[in-house]
Chains A and B, each alone.
Chain A
Amino acid sequence: MSSSNTTDKTRRIVIEPVTRVEGHGKVTIHLDGKGQVEEARLHVVEFRGFERFIQGRPYWEMPVAVQRLCGICPVSHHLCAAKAVDRIVGGEKLTSTAEKMRRLMHYGQFFQSHALHFFHLASPDLLFGFEADPLQRNVLAVAAKHPELARQGILMRKYGQEVIAATAGRKIHGTGAIPGGINKNLSVQERDALLKDWPQMLAWAESGLKIARDYTMAHLGELADFGSFESNFVSIVRADGALELYDGLLRAIDADGKTIFDKVDNQAYLDYIAEEVRHWSYMKFPFIRSLGPQKGWYRVGPLARVNTCDFIDTPKAEAARQEFKALGKGRPVHVSMAYHWARMIEALYAIEKIGELLRDPDLQGTDLVTSGKRRSEGVGILEAPRGTLFHHYRVDDNDLVSMCNLIVSTTSNNEPMNRAVAGVARKVMNNQATITEGMMNQVEVVIRAYDPCLSCATHAMGQMPLVVEVFDRAGNVLNRRIKSREPVTSR
Chain B
Amino acid sequence: MSPDKKVLVIGYGNPSRCDDGLGMALAERIRALEIPGVTVQIKYQLNVEDADDVAKHEVVVFLDACLCAPPPFFLRELDARAGTLEFTTHSLAPEGVLGLAKDVFHAPTQGYALAVRGYDFHDVGDDISKDAQANLEAAVTYLAEALQPGGSLHPMEVGA
Q: Which residue of B lies closest to A151 (CB)?
A: B104
The answer, yes or no, to whether A143 is at the interface (CB within 8 Å) is: yes
Contacts of B94 in A (CB 8 A): 488
Chain A 1-32, CB-CB to B under 8 Å as 1, else 0, gives 00000000000000001011110000000000
Q: Which residue of A lies closest to B106 (CB)?
A: A147
The answer, yes or no, to whether A187 is at the interface (CB within 8 Å) is: no
Q: Which of B51, B64, B87, B90 contacts A484 (CB 8 A)?
A: B87
Q: A71-B45, A116-B48, A157-B47 are in contact. Are A140 and B66 (CB under 8 A)?
A: no
Q: A139-B48, A140-B83, A171-B43 are in contact. Are A151 and B88 (CB under 8 A)?
A: no
A147 CA / B51 CA spacing, docked (Å): 13
The answer, yes or no, to whether B141 is at the interface (CB within 8 Å) is: no
Nearest CB in chain B: distance from A132 CB, A: 13
A465 CA / B99 CA spacing, docked (Å): 23
The answer, yes or no, to whether B138 is at the interface (CB within 8 Å) is: no
A318 CA / B104 CA spacing, docked (Å): 32
Chain A 256-275, CB-CB to B under 8 Å as 1, else 0, gives 00000000000000000000
Chain B 109-124, CB-CB to A under 8 Å as 1, else 0, gives 0000101000001000
Q: A71-B44, A490-B69, A491-B121 are in contact. Are A22 and B88 (CB under 8 A)?
A: yes
The answer, yes or no, to whether A88 is at the interface (CB within 8 Å) is: no
The answer, yes or no, to whether B91 is at the interface (CB within 8 Å) is: yes
A173 CA / B85 CA spacing, docked (Å): 27
Contacts of B121 in A (CB 8 A): 491
Q: Which residue of A lies closest to B92 (CB)?
A: A139
Q: A143-B100, A150-B100, A485-B87 are in contact. Are A490 and B49 (CB under 8 A)?
A: no
Contacts of A171 in B (CB 8 A): 43
A23 CA / B65 CA spacing, docked (Å): 22
Q: Which of A19, A466, A484, A490 contacts B66 (CB 8 A)?
A: A490
Q: Which of A22, A71, A154, A173 contacts B49 (CB 8 A)?
A: A154
Contacts of A483 in B (CB 8 A): 85, 87
Contacts of A485 in B (CB 8 A): 86-88, 93
The answer, yes or no, to whether A375 is at the interface (CB within 8 Å) is: no
Contacts of A486 in B (CB 8 A): 84, 93
Chain A 132-154, CB-CB to B under 8 Å as 1, else 0, gives 00110011100110010011011
Query: Which B34-51 residues have a C-beta within 8 angstroms of A?
Result: 43-49, 51
Q: Which residue of B lies closest to A70 (CB)?
A: B90
Q: Which residue of A lies closest to B80 (CB)?
A: A140
Contacts of A151 in B (CB 8 A): 104-105
Q: Which residue of B lies closest to A173 (CB)?
A: B44
A154 CA / B51 CA spacing, docked (Å): 8
Contacts of A466 in B (CB 8 A): 87
Once the chains bind, are A154 and B48 in contact (CB under 8 Å)?
Answer: yes
Once the chains bind, are A488 and B64 in contact (CB under 8 Å)?
Answer: yes
Contacts of B131 in A (CB 8 A): none
Query: Which A112-146 residues have a C-beta within 8 angstroms of B?
Result: 116, 120-121, 134-135, 138-140, 143-144
Contacts of A19 in B (CB 8 A): 86-88
Chain A 154-175, CB-CB to B under 8 Å as 1, else 0, gives 1101100100000000011100
Chain B 45-69, CB-CB to A under 8 Å as 1, else 0, gives 1111101100000000000111111
Interface size on B, residues (CB 8 A): 37
The answer, yes or no, to whether A435 is at the interface (CB within 8 Å) is: no
Once the chains bind, are A135 and B105 in contact (CB under 8 Å)?
Answer: no
Q: A22-B88, A155-B52 are in contact. Are A140 and B65 (CB under 8 A)?
A: no
A72 CA / B64 CA spacing, docked (Å): 20
Once the chains bind, are A147 and B91 in contact (CB under 8 Å)?
Answer: no
Range of interface residues on chain A? 35 or more
Query: Which A90-117 residues have a C-beta within 8 angstroms of B?
Result: 116
Q: Which residue of A lies closest to B46 (CB)?
A: A488
Nearest CB in chain B: distance from A140 CB, A: 5
Residue among A140, A147, A153, A158 with max Cβ neighbours from chain B (10 Å): A140
Nearest CB in chain A: distance from B15 CB, A: 11
Contacts of B100 in A (CB 8 A): 139-140, 143, 150, 154
Q: Which of A68, A154, A155 contacts B16 (CB 8 A)?
A: A68
Contacts of B44 in A (CB 8 A): 71, 172-173
A491 CA / B69 CA spacing, docked (Å): 8
Nearest CB in chain A: distance from B17 CB, A: 8
Q: Which residue of A lies closest to B83 (CB)?
A: A140
Contacts of A135 in B (CB 8 A): 85
The answer, yes or no, to whether B2 is at the interface (CB within 8 Å) is: no
The answer, yes or no, to whether A294 is at the interface (CB within 8 Å) is: no
Q: Which residue of A lies closest to B114 (CB)?
A: A489
A140 CA / B82 CA spacing, docked (Å): 10
Nearest CB in chain B: distance from A454 CB, A: 10
Residue among B48, B88, B96 with max Cβ neighbours from chain A (10 Å): B88
Contacts of A153 in B (CB 8 A): 48
Q: Which residue of B lies closest to A19 (CB)?
A: B87
A489 CA / B19 CA spacing, docked (Å): 14
Query: Which A453-471 residues have a C-beta within 8 angstroms of B?
Result: 465-466
The answer, yes or no, to whether B103 is at the interface (CB within 8 Å) is: yes
Residue among A17, A138, A172 with max Cβ neighbours from chain B (10 Å): A138
Chain A 57-92, CB-CB to B under 8 Å as 1, else 0, gives 000000000001001100000000000000000000
Nearest CB in chain A: distance from B12 CB, A: 9
A-B contact pairs, 9 of them (CB 8 A): A20-B88, A22-B90, A71-B91, A120-B48, A143-B99, A157-B48, A489-B74, A490-B115, A491-B121
Question: Which residues of B line the A interface, CB within 8 A?
Answer: 16, 43-49, 51-52, 64-69, 74, 83-91, 93-94, 96, 99-100, 103-105, 113, 115, 121
14 more CB-based (< 8 A) A-B contacts, given A17-B87, A19-B86: A71-B90, A116-B48, A116-B90, A121-B88, A135-B85, A139-B100, A140-B103, A150-B100, A150-B104, A151-B105, A154-B104, A172-B44, A490-B66, A491-B64
**Minimum-distance CB pairs A-B, first 9:** A489-B115, A158-B49, A490-B68, A489-B66, A143-B103, A139-B89, A483-B87, A489-B64, A19-B87
